[in-house]
Amino acid sequence: MVIKELKKKCYSKLSGLYPITEIDSFFFILMDDCFNLKRVDIALQLNEKIQDYNRFLTLIDQLADKKPIQYLIGKTSFFGLDFKVNNSVLIPRPETEELAAWIINDTDNKKEIRILDIGTGSGCIAISLANELKQALVSALDISNKALIIAKENASLNNVNISFIEDNILNSTTIFQNKFDVIVSNPPYVRKLEKVEMDDNVLNNEPHLALFVSNDNPLLFYSAIADFALKNLHAKGKLYFEINQYLGNETVQLLKNKGFKNIILKKDIFNNNRMIRASI
């Protein structure tokens, strides 16, 4: 089968299921992953014959079943770095890149600081911070052993040193000898009532443990992490959160009630309330 026939099969199978721009992206990602062919190669070789294309067609079928392409090829990119992903971890989002960038822009790269990422998942935040802030001592915590296996692989892949901790932040038993300058978290924050807004490829594939909270106590993790931060941040330390866009004011008020100061609520690239910074 020649390349242009593979392209036709891809577009025919996925048409109506995804926007055309997304199908374009899928096609080029899969051609690269399956055959190591870049866009320029494809443009110049549309009539080139491909011998072993069964995996390519299988992946197209899985995309038609709304499987995330990042899980299908086992990797994604975040903050310019490569990350392994599987269904034990959330797929990193562009909004979370903005959170990492905010911390980096706030931080003096010439000064040694201690950073803790709570609910690290794939390790995308912790690893990106360690890569950009060369003087930082970065730790990362998660309740999931399977997630930590992936995070450790990603730290090795990106040549950074991270101290990984398996613990439940809602009932933490870890005692830290030194306080932190920065604590960051992208905890579960999607209320179960918001499931109706979610795409099937997220709802049916990504780990619910890392996504959902109850409708009646949606700020459970924010409250626990804020209490933890009060005990484990330096006097001038900062707490950063990614948040539920619908609960920005409520999250700000929670932090105020606990005594945090200089609270900033920030919008993401989609103009949704998405990030908070606070100090003690």
CATH code for the domain in which residue 244 is found:
3.40.50.150
**pLDDT at site 175:** 87
Q: Specify whether 86 is located in the same domain as 139.
A: yes
Assess if residue 97 is contained within a domain. Answer: yes
pLDDT of residue 24: 96
Quote the number of domains for the chain: 2
In terms of domains, do 85 and 167 share one?
Answer: yes
pLDDT band, residue 173 (cuts 50/70/90): confident
CA distance 57 to 6: 8
Q: What's the pLDDT at 108?
A: 87
pLDDT by residue (tens digit) across 45-59? Answer: 888 899 999 999 999
Tell whether 134 is covered by a domain. yes
Identify the pLDDT of residue 109: 84
The domain boundary residue, chosen from 20, 42, 65? 65
pLDDT value for 200? 85
- Mean pLDDT estimate for the chain: 95
Q: How far apart are CA 157 and CA 141, in angstroms?
A: 19
pLDDT at position 184: 98
- Residue 95 is which amino acid? E
Distance, in Å, from the CA atom of 183 to the CA atom of 72, rounded to the nearest integer, reads 32
Is residue 174 a contact partner of residue 116, using CB atoms and an 8 Å limit?
no
What pLDDT score does 110 carry?
Answer: 81
With 0-12 CB in 10 A as exposed, 13-18 as middle and 19+ as buried, what is 11?
A: middle
Residue 56 CA to residue 54 CA, distance in Å, equals: 5
Helix, strand counts (H, E) of the chain: 11, 11
> pLDDT tens-digit profile of 143-162?
999 999 999 999 999 999 99
Q: What is the mean pLDDT of residues 234-238?
A: 94
pLDDT of residue 190: 92
On whether residue 152 sits in a domain, the answer given is yes
Residue 71 lies in a domain: no
- What pLDDT digit, counting tens, does each position of 85-127 carry? 999 999 999 999 999 999 999 998 888 999 999 999 999 999 9
